[in-house]
Structure 1
């Protein structure tokens, strides 16, 4: 990464927050508390002080600390501007943030100062600057003044908006954590950033270019493609509306449902939803259609990691015309043809993107200095070797061939043995005998450092357990007394990885290392090797009935075992998919079996094979997934050690055998898709060790067992879309460890038991689409509850003491059409509430205590037809959506200093007469003060509002939509340099638009249903325009010459009855689609560039 500040010769650190404050000011106590609070939250903070400033290292240490921090936090107090050091820091922060491409940002804190003070409109700071002008260089003072004024334009947190230091500090910490975690990929602490390669990719990516761009990063395995993609992702992700980083595409695509799974994951990112494998996508083709529709209005950053087939690109990201302007797609691949076959030829400044092309970049080898630095970070935890090991380190790096993977593995293996020089020399000797470019032979050194049992576990993973949940192999290794948890900890250092899904993964070269070692055990005879993973070789061994007395692991599909199997007593894992209903083997010795997988088999509960399987007293996992002939579970009495029972998608399974009561060690019971199941016996309710219970949707289950209270270890209970279950047992209240409870879609459940309030660990409660009509008051006892979803229910009111839910972050009541009572005043006590959605409810208003919500970011009041009054809203709001139906409501938006997205619609015909609405329009003149909203406002949608505010102060506005507003002239749009989209529609009296020529970055212009509009000044000067749509504007007779619209792609003219001619299209080489319909006055079709498609109903007169 960027140069990191050294604390000492052997330690480096990168800060996340840089605090700048006046040390002698009254803010010292606040700063100390803030500093300790952030440290306690795990945030790395640099806190300067006067002692450091007075020291000799000030010129070096502070700028480096600022450079290596991600968030700058100036604490502007009354005496802040009197310190030259504070102003130096402030100017440096502003400069660094402006050059960071969005990777660094400033979060100002106001203590006992206000906006006018910082703008130098009051004597507080203004008099100080007068004094500075006499003591310092005038140019330097101007830099300080400009920095101060620029900071004043940034969203800030002001102490006066909170109830004291403690509340403000909580908000600051939460804000920082959100900023640090959002759109960020974790990178190893030992990363050495290759600035040359990063800069080259950034130049090709060209985030400032407004078109769509595909970027391919390719190179051999282990050279650092994914790491480079993550570095780029972290640098630019803040510039996009949505981001998605899809990893391991090659591996996931190999699964039968792999591409659909990836489409679901991508769609979740596009729509900003929590990812769920239940997201409905029927097949790949439907997924393509859904992604294409979702992408069209969002500026996206998508990274596709490890693509190996072109088909994966087609199914996930298709073509560039799927995307919103400004979107970027980054592809990493070792298959060069994927990117070179569609390679784009770049023009000189600015680079252009041609439809269907992929810009290509080949990752280069690391320079020797970077390779040495990377090696030292892994082996010494510093940037350079110690003097005694300098020569050895250089020789080892040379022998490794500068491949990052090999350097990381060997460096990690030597970590901790820096006092044993002989080991280093021995390592070097081994490396020198191996050609540096052969990664397999390089990695063998790490393998040889493993203990015997660690080697066995490593080889098992490479041959059998890649993409397997670690939980299940651990069972068999534990049975062998291999001490797997300790071994896995060692393997994680340099050879394997465990993903968020708890599945094993590793680099292909590491996998091949293990398999090659097994192969060399006997190159000619597979039966004499310890492991056989090739299906053909394994099948031959079984067919030839070779002696397999030591067989521990067997995975087969559709096999029919015949004969005597008395010599296979060492078998621990049997995966026998699609086993036949006839069982002819004898002496099937399974006394040591730990994992049995019979998925997709045609067996029944009376299958004769159960008689021999029941001897598996050690069995931990029984997987009967998709055994569609099972009507009941078999007799499970003999499996007392069982911990995982998977019955998912057994479509005919109707009952659970009572013998399940013997499974007192069972922790996971998966019944997903068992839709014929009509009863859970009381014995199921006796499973005291159960931690995970997955229930079927749309099943025939009518009730839960009354003994549900015995599930005291349960952490998650999901009962979704079951209309037959009519209640939750009262005993549910004793489930002290449950964190997630969902009865989504359970229409039969009308009431919740009062004992629900005893679920002391509950974090998430989902009542959506259920039949619940009342929320018990006891719910307010759930002090850890963070998420409540009750949308589309008949709930009529919220508990009066809802404010006691002190940890609540999200409350979703969308389309609760029976919710008509006042929102309780205690809602103002929810200090962690971030999202409140009461759209589609009948609430008459919100309580005045709403202004007390310090963390509220999003407020949704869409289609609240009965809403008659709004209180002062909290200044923390960043997104507000509101429909106004009653003339009494005049939203006061002046307090919303952090607002970024505003969707405001007036429905003047809903209630009240014309006179009342005129009164409202008079009151609405308050909106003229809308310019007092922050310059950070980026999206503004106004419907049925008159008069419109002046827009010129919204310098960060990127999307502006105005609809159904009574006006003859549109307000001026000067200074809107960042405006990307402008839509004006259904304003029937509008005669003229302002001059648009200054909107140099405008990409989309839509004008619709403006029957009196005569002309659009400056439209011909919009050099960045890509989409121009003019419909139902009958008074426009002539358009300006459009020859300067060099980026125009789509041009749509419909129902413009007065339009006579169109000029300047022939030279627009990016123009691909032109629509001309119902323009009866048009004297002729315009000349179009080659390749442009014309859709028209025009006929020559």
Structure 2
């Protein structure tokens, strides 16, 4: 039982709102719940720029819920109350009187409170006049306005936002709000004259997004302005109106049309500038007198040089990514506080401008194709991260002396031939040189902290000898190299993961034995002939030797007690007996191992869940006997396999894939009480479904193109949802399905069915496809199928549709080319029927469609005996009728079908 004082700890277990039952224990519990992110009944306690408040967020129509909680609000006055009310569309104005009543009650009871009004899609603010008196913030979205008079002289108003509004309003009422500090305008169509904002003496933040203006000269009088955002103002050319604003800290002009930053001259408090995607901006002149500037984002701009940054002594973060016209970083040289330089994808040819930036921690010069050298980084003792992949660098010798370096990425540096320059860096943890031009890793000698090395795809590399002294190495990717041995790894006692994929010159995994922390080995498509002795790799969990054509045995894995997954598909293995004793094994994949004839070695593995053994030479699966946790088996395309003996009575088996195999019976599945899916498609030798009877969880049976002559064994499979017996010519009836209430989809295309009476009682049936069942003359058996939506009976021998009477959910019927069908009787009055295709059938009249008011499309073309469409006239939803090739008079019209768009008669 938890105590009262630590109830807040219990609240932390819930990602969303804590349960009402927990919050309802007492006042303390409820308050703890309100401190939680999700709050209680819409109420949270949070801190804003001014104070700690209790914040209640509700829709306008939920004012009654506040009244029900009023006792709590009035009783808990430790924090002032802020109510965030959402008003949407004109109908919400009807809720205002109730809010005004609440407002007066709170004033009377001296409940300190303020409002935040989120107003969407209204045409006037006058109805909100009383509520606005207590409002601190107003957010207007998609409103069509003629006046802002309701905002005049609001003493509490601090923040106003317009988002995608319309109307030629004046902003003058805002000038009368003495405490207004923030104004945001996001795309105001036919909007106000923004120059009025220049009269707001106390405004600290202005947002003008996607506004049509060429300058901000009107802001020159906003002496207290701290933040200006003018994103996506395409016509904005100048920031001159900001000249000398002493309190301005943040300017965000991303994606605007500005050509110069000279307007920021004298803004001595400036800390952050964002001019990303400003294509017309060529230089940063105007920032040189910004002693407090810390962050600059000029990415994807037209900047050609950054000389103006030379005097920004406080600068910490510079982003000039994708500045294609920028050739150097001159201007940054000697900036003592610079920590981050992002130059990815720019046109720089050197980084000498970083010389002397002693605080530099992170440099990103990815995709700088013209950059040949890292001169400029030498001796930077705080540099931790270098990303220089896909660049043109030819060496990394300049990294000598970068003693704090932790991560280096020079992947895809085709001109880089060695890692010289990293040797002896004591803090280096990760090196990525994937697909680079290096032919040796000698440069890593002495990097004692190194944990991860990626030299995958370095085609010139023939040896990893220089890794032998790296005691902390955990991850090595060296696939696609020409190494012949991994023996040097024998002393890398911390190694956890090894990837030698596509190392075709590697003959064995010798060198790994005894690595007690090794968990993952991927040697797929390599040249290994033996696994090697891995018995000492006591932590090994995954081994992948797929595509290793020379590998014929798994000797070396025997007895690994933590091994969970083995993948050897398309390898040359002939047996898997070495897996006997791998008691933790959960998954085995041996697809396309043509020389593998059995699964001996798996018997009795009590944790094994999945076996994939398709398209190989196995003749029996008795090796799966006793694998009590087995859930999924795939033996598809195993043509030598004739029986599923080995699976009998496995209690957790859910899925069996045996399509295109040689199995002759499935009696081996009897007793598999958890079985859900069986696929025996194209098993031509299979003549019976015996083995499935009474499997109460079986949901899907795919028996297409088999030799079965009956589905009686499915009797008692009460969970069956889907059955496919397409092309099963020997199946004449559906005995065995009667009463299966969960059957939803039945497919029997081109089968030998002569009746479907067995579907009687299949009340859950939704889709039936019996196309090309030529011996089938009746649909009797469907009368109880109230959920049936689709019937496809193309090319059948059916003579009538009377069996569909009562299928009230039917939406689609296809009886194309049913030559024996003379009418559509049976469909009359079906309320949801939308689509009927009876083209090229023997239909002579369509009176059966009378009362089908949901019908949208009818196709009866080439029904040569059809003479009239009169019964369709008046169907309100009918859109398309195709009746070419009939005897219907060409001048006929369906005048009372208001939605008819297509009538084809010839």
1:684-699 equivalent positions in 2, closer than 5 A: 684=309, 687-697=312-322, 699=324
Matches within 5 A, 1:49-88: none
- Distance change >3 Å, CA 581–CA 535, structure 1 → 2: closer
CA change 1:805–1:944 in 2 (3 A) is same
Contact in 1 for aligned 2:265/2:289 (Cα 8 Å): yes
Q: State whether structure 2 residue 586 is matched by structure 1 residue 969.
A: no
Who is 1:1092 aligned against? 722
2:13 matched to 1:363? no
Pick from 742, 745, 749 the counterpart of residue 387 of structure 2.
742
* Structure with the larger helix share: 1
Q: Which of 224, 234, 237 in structure 2 is aligned with 1:592? A: 224
Q: CA deviation at 1:898?
A: 0.9
Against the structure 1 CA distance between its residues 953 and 853, is the aligned structure 2 distance closer, same or farther, given a 3 Å change threshold?
same
Q: CA deviation at 1:720?
A: 3.1
Which of 727, 752, 766 matches 2:409? 766
- The question of 1:523 aligning with 2:134 is answered yes
What corresponds to 1:98 in structure 2? none
Secondary structure at the residue paired with 2:78?
Answer: helix
Structure 2 partner of 1:1007: 635
TM-superposed deviation, 1:619: 2.1
Q: What displacement does 1:576 show?
A: 1.8
The yes-or-no answer on 1:949 pairing with 2:582 is: no
Structure 2 SS opposite 1:1031: coil
Q: Following TM superposition, by how much is the alpha carbon of 1:542 offset from its aligned partner in structure 2, in angstroms?
A: 3.1
**1:622 aligns to what?**
251
- The alpha-carbon distance between structure 1 residues 790 and 444, as it changes in their structure 2 partners (threshold 3 A), is farther
* CA shift in 2, pair 1:995/1:769, >3 Å: closer
Residue 743 of structure 1, CA deviation: 2.2
Instruction: State the secondary structure of the residue aligned to 2:562.
Output: coil
Q: Cα gap change, 1:585/1:887 in structure 2, threshold over 3 Å: closer, same or farther?
A: closer
Unaligned runs of 5+ in 2: 40-66, 86-110, 118-129, 136-149, 326-345, 729-749, 753-906
- Give the secondary structure class of the aligned counterpart of 1:544: helix
Q: Aligned-pair distance for 1:859?
A: 0.9
Which whole-Å deviations, capped at 9, do the CAs of 1:599-641 have from their partners, x for residues lacking one? 1212444x3xx222223233222112222x3456555433343
Rate the CA distance shift 1:843–1:679 in 2: closer, same or farther, 3 A.
farther
Give the secondary structure class of the aligned counterpart of 1:960. Answer: strand
| 8 Å Cα contact 1:692/1:717 also seen in 2 | no
- Matching residue within 658, 662, 671 for 2:298: 671
Partner of 1:548: 177
Q: How far apart are 1:567 and its partner, in Å?
A: 4.2
SS for the counterpart of 1:1021 is coil
Instruction: Using the TM superposition, name which of 565-574 and 801-810 deviates more.
Output: 565-574
1:785 shift after superposition: 2.0
Paired position in structure 2 for 1:343: none
Q: What pairs with 1:980-999 in structure 2 (closer than 5 Å)?
A: 980-988=609-617, 990-994=618-622, 996-999=624-627
Query: What displacement does 1:1007 show?
Result: 0.8
Deviation at 1:793, TM superposition (A): 2.3
In 2, Cα distance between equivalents of 1:929 and 1:885: 17
2:480 matched to which residue of 1? 840
Aligned to 2:211: 579
Q: 1:890 to 1:407 in 2, by over 3 A?
A: closer
User: What is the CA–CA distance in structure 1 between the aligned matches of 2:610 and 2:71, rounded to whole Å?
Assistant: 53
Relative to structure 1, the CA distance from residue 671 to residue 796 in structure 2 (aligned partners, 3 Å threshold; closer, same or farther) is: farther
- The answer to whether the Cα contact below 8 Å between 1:822 and 1:847 also exists between their aligned partners in 2 is no
For residue 721 of structure 1, what is the aligned residue in structure 2?
367
Counterpart secondary structure, 1:658: coil
Alpha-carbon distance change, 668 to 888 in structure 1, aligned in 2, over 3 angstroms: same
Counterpart contact for 1:680–1:705, Cα < 8 Å: no
Map residues 843-854 of structure 1 onto 2, 5 A cutoff.
843-848=483-488, 850-854=489-493
1:857 CA displacement = 0.9
Q: In the alignment, does 2:702 pair up with 1:1059?
A: no
Give the match's secondary structure for 2:490: helix
How far does residue 944 in structure 1 lie from its aligned partner after superposition? Answer: 2.4
- 1:857-1006 residue pairs with structure 2 within 5 A? 857-873=496-512, 874-883=515-524, 885-886=526-527, 889-905=530-546, 907-908=548-549, 927-928=554-555, 930-933=557-560, 935-942=561-568, 943-963=571-591, 964=593, 966-988=595-617, 990-994=618-622, 996-1006=624-634
Cα distance in structure 1, aligned partners of 2:658 and 2:523: 28
Cα contact 1:968–1:992 (8 A) shared by 2 = yes
State the match for 2:32 in structure 1. Answer: 404
Which among 330, 338, 347 is matched to residue 702 of structure 1? 347
Q: Do 2:462 and 2:481's aligned partners in 1 also have CA atoms closer than 8 Å?
A: no
Match of 1:816 among 458, 475, 480: 458
Partner of 1:1005: helix, strand, or coil?
Answer: strand
Query: C-alpha separation between the residues in 2 aligned to 1:544 and 1:662?
Result: 37
Give me the whole-angstrom Cα distance separating, in 2, the residues matched to 1:730 and 1:462. Answer: 56
Name the SS for the 1:556 alignment partner.
Answer: strand
Please tell me whether the aligned partners of residues 561 and 584 of structure 1 are also in contact (alpha carbons under 8 angstroms): no
Contact 1:793 1:816 in 2 (8 A): yes
Compute the RMSD of aligned alpha carbons.
4.2
What residue ranges of structure 1 are gaps of 5+ in the alignment? 5-9, 12-188, 194-223, 230-304, 307-333, 335-361, 372-397, 411-433, 449-458, 464-511, 909-916
Deviation at 1:1073, TM superposition (A): 4.3
Decide whether the 8 Å contact of 1:655 with 1:679 is kept in 2.
yes
Q: 1:730 Cα deviation (Å)?
A: 0.9
Contact preservation (8 Å) 1:743, 1:767: yes
Per-residue CA deviations over 1:300-323 (Å, capped at 9, x if unaligned) read xxxxx55xxxxxxxxxxxxxxxxx
Structure with larger Rg? 2
Partner of 1:66: none
1-structure distance, mates of 2:595, 2:77: 76
User: TM (normalized to structure 1)?
Assistant: 0.50
Provide the TM-score with structure 2 as the length reference. Answer: 0.60
Q: Secondary structure at the match of 1:795?
A: coil
Q: Which moved more, 1:860-869 or 1:736-745?
A: 736-745
Number of residues of Structure 1 aligned to a counterpart in Structure 2? 617
Deviations, residues 703-742 of structure 1 (Å, cap 9, x unaligned)? 155322254433322233343x323451122544332221
The alpha carbon displacement at 1:835 in A equals: 1.1
Verify: 1:648 aligned to 2:276, yes or no.
yes
**Per-residue Cα deviation, 1:961-984 (whole angstroms, up to 9, x for no partner):** 224163433214333221111111
